[in-house]
Copies of this chain bind each other. A is one copy, B any other.
Amino acid sequence: MPNMNMLQAINQALDIAMAEDDKVLCFGEDVGSFGGVFRATSHLQEKYGHARCFNTPIVEQGIVGFANGLASQGSVPVAEIQFADYIFPAFDQLVNETAKFRYRSGDLFNVGGLTLRAPYGGGIAGGHYHSQSPEAYFAHTPGLKIVIPRNPYEAKGLLLASIRDPDPVLFFEPKRLYRASTGEVPEEDYQLPLGEAAVTREGSDVTLVGWGAQMEVIERAVELAEKDGISCEVIDLRTILPWDEDTIVDSVLKTGRLVVTHEAPRTGGFAGEIAATVQERCFLYLESPVMRVTGLDTPFPQTLEKEYLPDHLKIHEAIRASVNF
């Protein structure tokens, strides 16, 4: 099995999807001959032509509006937003249109073919506008699916599943892993299921839940905790919406403790939803409060990024606090 990084895995998924179905189109800012500013769409225009892979003008609301129309017509658009921080001009098209298309028409029309890819997250000294993790903004929006991979293998399988899923999917790619995360990835076509969390490590004392680039950070924290003799169960949520409550609830019923982490600010972040649900469904089994290790309630900073981020040390402290409550 070849070893590749996350960008290569994503590029391969797009290539497979476009080769298989000529309804699949890839477009966005600088996505055409240049192959995207991160090169996720390299060579696709060469292979599949200008009509199916192209640059758009700089107008995110237009990119998503155009993609909504294409999807409602029966095409399978895979649009790119250059950075997740620039998805907000398209918020109306996503929240009022994409999410409600099928529902409002009574299933006469739908935009299920739509996949929107966007690099997200911090750790690259990108400041306010090249670091945000906007998943929670969309998690309050029934009708959307939100998927986030943690490594190249997951990225390829989840992206192929997202493109073929009958519902619109926001696919957020942890950009600090683009080149940093490498691993074995099968050359062939495969899919990983949406809506299912993955238990990546079994343990008995405390459950850790995260997604995307935080999974690496959790692993480092867990190594520290295991040295303290704490047995950790680790879960990658993978799909933020609709999320896999049962896998997490089952784990917490076993461990009695939960730590959730994400980079986005704490208030209104998705860890809050998980904590609220878990305290409701596991009330009598919880040995300590659900703990959240998150970004601060501030815009994303630049020089003090390290201090802002929910790193392995902060998670390790939370694990200890959870176990010693």
Q: Which residues of A contact B (CB under 8 A)?
A: 61, 85, 88-89, 91-92, 95-96, 99-100, 103-104, 128-129, 136-137, 139-143, 241, 243, 264-265, 267-273, 275-277, 279-280, 283, 286, 288-292, 296-299, 325
Contact = CB atoms under 8 A, between A and B. Distances in A.
Contact of A136 (B88, B104, B140, B143): B140
Copies in the assembly, this chain: 2
Given A91-B92, A99-B299, A140-B268, 14 more contacts: A100-B128, A100-B299, A137-B137, A137-B140, A139-B268, A140-B265, A140-B269, A241-B267, A243-B267, A268-B268, A275-B275, A275-B276, A279-B290, A280-B290
24 contacts: A88-B92, A88-B95, A88-B96, A91-B91, A91-B92, A95-B137, A96-B129, A103-B299, A136-B268, A137-B140, A139-B267, A139-B268, A140-B265, A142-B265, A142-B267, A142-B297, A143-B299, A243-B267, A268-B273, A271-B276, A275-B280, A276-B276, A276-B279, A279-B290
A289 B299 contact: no
Given A89-B92, A268-B136, A276-B290, A103 B283 contact: no
Contacts of A137: 95, 137, 140
Q: Tell me the dominant secondary structure on chain A's binding face.
A: helix
A270 to B, nearest CB: 7
Contacts of A142: 265, 267, 296-299
Nearest to A268: B140
Contacts of A91: 88-89, 91-92
Contacts of A279: 275-276, 279, 289-290
B265 A272 contact: no
Contact of A140 (B61, B92, B95, B267): B267
A96 B84 CA distance: 12
A283 to B, nearest CB: 4
A268 B270 contact: yes
Contacts of A241: 267
> Which of A279, A288, A297, A298 has the most chain B CB atoms inside 10 A of its CB?
A279
